[in-house]
Amino acid sequence: MWEPGTEETAAAPGCEPVVDEAQRRRMLWLMTEHFRTLGVTDIKARLPGFVPPPVLAGTLEDHRPDLTCRQSNAQKTPVLLEVVTPQSLEDPGLENRWSLLSSAAKPYSAELHFVVPRWTEKGALEQALCRRLARMELPASGGWTV
């Protein structure tokens, strides 16, 4: 039985309200500010000072998108955004996360966007991300390099 004050203080991996990896957090700040300049609304981000996006319930595990918002178009199209770093691109556990984000986007006609650093020690990540998404047969609505 649940009792007040007994809730778990640590969120499950992928559900934390604030991104802990510094590079992901910096990229998320950039995208948040960029989206603000575009006039998007209802920005929720896994950053200090922001309301975090809701946790999406999955069959294997739950996940929280890095950012959600509504575009400034007439339909107010929802966007789910995932930040991808060189370390996370190699993580086999992300396939479940990305599949859940893709599945969650469909019923709401939301767009799933990915953002990668323009350049890393390993080179450009954009093509590697596209190849991985293609292998997973996951469509991405948009991609950003920062």
pLDDT one digit per residue (tens) for the chain, 146 residues: 333 333 344 578 788 999 989 999 999 999 999 999 999 999 999 999 999 999 999 888 999 999 999 999 999 999 999 999 988 888 888 889 999 999 999 998 999 999 988 877 777 788 888 888 888 888 777 777 77
| Residue 72 placed within a domain | yes
- Residue 10 is assigned to a structural domain of this protein: no
Tokens of 84: 């991808």
- Asked if residue 15 belongs to a domain, the reply is no
Residue 102: which CATH number? 3.40.1350
Write down the pTM of the prediction: 0.85
Structural domain that includes position 41: 22-145
pLDDT number for residue 73: 92
Structure tokens at 44: 């929720």
Number of separate domains in the chain: 1
Q: What pLDDT score was predicted for residue 91?
A: 87
- Residue 10: predicted pLDDT: 59
